[in-house]
Structure 1
Amino acid sequence: MSGDDESESVERDDATPEGDATPEGDDPASPTRRKPVVVVVEPETPGNVGTIARAMKNFGLSDLKLVDPPALREDGEAYGFAGHAREDVLPNAEEVTFDEVVANYHTVGTTAITGEDDRSHERFPFKTPAELRESLKAVDAPTAIVFGREGRGLNNEELSRLDEVCSIPADDDYPVLNLGQAATVLLYELRELTVDETQLPDTEVTRAPEGDVERFHGFFRDFLEATGQRDHQVEKNALLMRRLLGRAHPTEREVHSLLGTFRKANAKLEHAEHLAAKYDEPVYPRER
């Protein structure tokens, strides 16, 4: 962990923090967009530092800064909890002072305990992680997400020096999250600003051609009529199916599967009716 050499400390005033890029384009997750740095103030447990580093690695962040941290040994808890972040995020973490963070970044302080109204200026107003994501989309500036101590968090004096406050909505009976959990939740919500691509496949759905959808509706109506339903029930159920498919936006493959199913069902019903007529047997009874 760096920070002992004064020449490597965060520069003050108008300097751009190392690693920040000039924005190009409007894509929030563009590689050229400056990603937030993560700051942990006086962490007490090395394992929580490792957990935060791992969450950063999961969600596309790499710049970790620590204010008065404990010793982080390579054979210790922090590296054990960091996963693959032990390879870069954790060993490259920089030790800084709280004053340096305030001087060089647009700062977002995190807290579980918020003010209930505007009389608590240190903890009100506050944003949820989702609201913070939308707010930061509109601003491309060196930004620091600041987490406090495990037991006490950030105090009012520290929060009063930060630009914004963020709090994770939780059960009123127990709103305080573990430091590593809080960081993971918040960084997950900010992923649109920090992650270009995920491991998830493309979820864009291409709706089946309308001609195929209408063919299905025709088959479904034939099916309803062949089962002996009364006319008003046929109309009602046909409309319900139309509304259902309208909301579902079925794919071409899905509609083709349904077409094949109802084509076979209608053929069997037609064959049954033909046999009933041939052998003078009652057909499927119609409702009256």
Structure 2
Amino acid sequence: MPNIAVAVVGAETPGNVGTIARSMKNFGLSELYLVDPPELDPDGEAYGFAGHAREDVLPNATEVEFSYLTEQFYTVACTATTNEDATKHVRYPFIEPAALSDELAGLDADVCIVFGRERVGLTNDELAQLDRICSIPADGDYPVLNLAQAATIVLYELRELTVEETQHPKQAHERADEHEIEGLHETFSEYLHEVGHPEEKIPKTERLFRRLAGRASPTGREARTLRGVLRRGALVASGEIPRPGTSDPGDEPNQKDESNRENE
């Protein structure tokens, strides 16, 4: 797994540098190199935009010459413009960020992802010295992203190489056990009978519900909650519990007794 650094060349806006530092921290990166950077005032917008990265990534950033990047790293240049083909090789061939992680995974070299200036990006002379071109696919009429936004997208796509453990649980969705799913179907069937669903339509309705549950893949809690709702609906339909908003007839006051009290 390669060590991955980030470099920003000729940034004009301190806030963009701070935002890139924050994105680096979001996605497990810490090594930031700056070529011809703007002044990064600890009380200014760079540190204000950096979030928790103001404590480590940003203050530990190293100012270097452009040649340092080409001498020390396998470099990936990020650019918006790739309107070239096999006859021109300044910005061609290129790779999209989504494919970058797989390509770099087996690389036996330190890697630096290089971003350019806000207005003009990296110059052709700079691109000619870098090893690989990376470009974010966007609308052809306006493909140029904000510098910090572009960096965030690229670093996000590299997370498989740079983030050991995310804030998410190991499973984003845990389907209920089969016995819980089957219990849900049994309860639904009981519900259909209790509410008086037409007998001849029950098998088809049960089948439709099974297909619906199969696509939804409910969690255990969802299955249990649905069973509880269906059970209560069946009890209301059978009259075992009163409908909401109504009271048990046994709880109604006796009108004759009330009249007698008024005449006492």
1:134 to 96, 102, 111: 102
**How has the CA–CA distance of structure 1 residues 255 and 158 changed in structure 2, closer, same or farther, with 3 Å as cutoff?**
same
Q: Does 1:119 align with 2:87?
A: yes
Asked if 1 retains the 8 angstrom alpha-carbon contact of 2:195 and 2:234, the reply is: no
Q: Does 1:248 align with 2:216?
A: yes
**How has the CA–CA distance of structure 1 residues 239 and 99 changed in structure 2, closer, same or farther, with 3 Å as cutoff?**
same
Question: Relative to structure 2, which stretch is displaced further, 198-207 or 188-197?
Answer: 198-207
Please give the alpha-carbon distance, in whole angstroms, between the structure 2 residues aligned to 1:138 and 1:190. Answer: 13
Relative to the length of structure 1, the TM-score reads: 0.74
> Could you say what the CA RMSD is over the residues aligned between the two structures, in angstroms?
2.3
2:181 maps to a residue whose letter is V
1:172 to 131, 140, 155: 140
CA shift, 1:114, in A, is 1.1
Q: Does 1:107 align with 2:75?
A: yes
**How has the CA–CA distance of structure 1 residues 252 and 96 changed in structure 2, closer, same or farther, with 3 Å as cutoff?**
same
Q: Deviations over 1:92-145 (max 9, x none)?
A: 211222222112211110011113532332222222211112322333531000
Higher share in helix: 2
**How has the CA–CA distance of structure 1 residues 47 and 267 changed in structure 2, closer, same or farther, with 3 Å as cutoff?**
closer
CA shift, 1:154, in A, is 1.1
Match of 1:220? Answer: 188
**How has the CA–CA distance of structure 1 residues 229 and 49 changed in structure 2, closer, same or farther, with 3 Å as cutoff?**
same
Larger radius of gyration: 2
Please give the alpha-carbon distance, in whole angstroms, between the structure 2 residues aligned to 1:73 and 1:226. Answer: 72
1:60 to 15, 24, 28: 28
Match of 1:35? Answer: 3
Where does structure 1 lack aligned partners over 5 or more consecutive residues?
1-32, 273-288
Q: Deviations over 1:64-106 (max 9, x none)?
A: 1112223333333323332322222222211222222112211
Percent identity over paired residues: 55
Relative to the length of structure 2, the TM-score reads: 0.80
Asked if 2 retains the 8 angstrom alpha-carbon contact of 1:222 and 1:266, the reply is: yes
Asked if 1 retains the 8 angstrom alpha-carbon contact of 2:14 and 2:39, the reply is: yes
Q: Secondary structure in 1 aligned to 2:95?
A: coil
**How has the CA–CA distance of structure 1 residues 168 and 270 changed in structure 2, closer, same or farther, with 3 Å as cutoff?**
same
The within-5 A match list for 1:1-288 is: 33-230=1-198, 233-271=201-239
